[in-house]
């Protein structure tokens, strides 16, 4: 009988490898917290995502055994990560541009609209309230 799926060999890693990876994850967590107190300007999110991505790769490679398993699983995992990176990059393009909307350059359609009169009277009331306190 022909085997469709080759026999899966379990790959047991030494305990020191697991402890080393766990230690690296702890160190990276401390680095993540330390970096959160540093102002990199617009690069804060990028630095945080790079550290988080490195930690996720350690978990996937060693704790999920992708490093020693069928390379098809690694390809599927990396394809999903690449798709996630593309989505995050496009989202960041959108969020960076949100504060740069064009100002309204045209005049209001109706100069004497009630809303403008209401805004004027409210601002005058606030000014008069400030004067009464002196």
| Dihedral sign computed on CA atoms, order 27, 17, 11, 69 | positive
Q: What is the pTM of this model?
A: 0.58
Q: Tens-digit pLDDT profile for the chain (134 aa)?
A: 455 555 656 667 889 999 999 999 999 999 999 999 999 887 888 899 899 999 999 999 999 888 888 899 999 999 999 999 899 888 888 777 766 665 555 665 666 667 767 666 766 665 666 555 55
């Amino acid at each position: 009988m022909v085997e469709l799926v080759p026999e899966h060999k379990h790959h047991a890693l030494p305990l020191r490898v697991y402890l080393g990876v766990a230690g690296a994850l702890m160190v990276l967590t401390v680095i993540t917290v330390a970096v959160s107190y540093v102002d990199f300007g617009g690069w804060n999110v990028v630095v945080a995502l790079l550290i988080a991505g490195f930690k996720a790769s350690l978990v996937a490679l060693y704790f999920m055994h992708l490093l020693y398993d069928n390379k098809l699983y690694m390809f599927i995992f990396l394809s999903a990560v690449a798709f996630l990176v593309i989505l995050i990059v496009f989202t960041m393009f959108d969020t960076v541009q949100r504060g740069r909307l064009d100002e309204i350059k045209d005049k209001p359609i109706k100069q004497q609209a009630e809303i403008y009169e209401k805004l004027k009277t409210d601002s005058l009331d606030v000014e008069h309230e400030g004067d009464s306190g002196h």
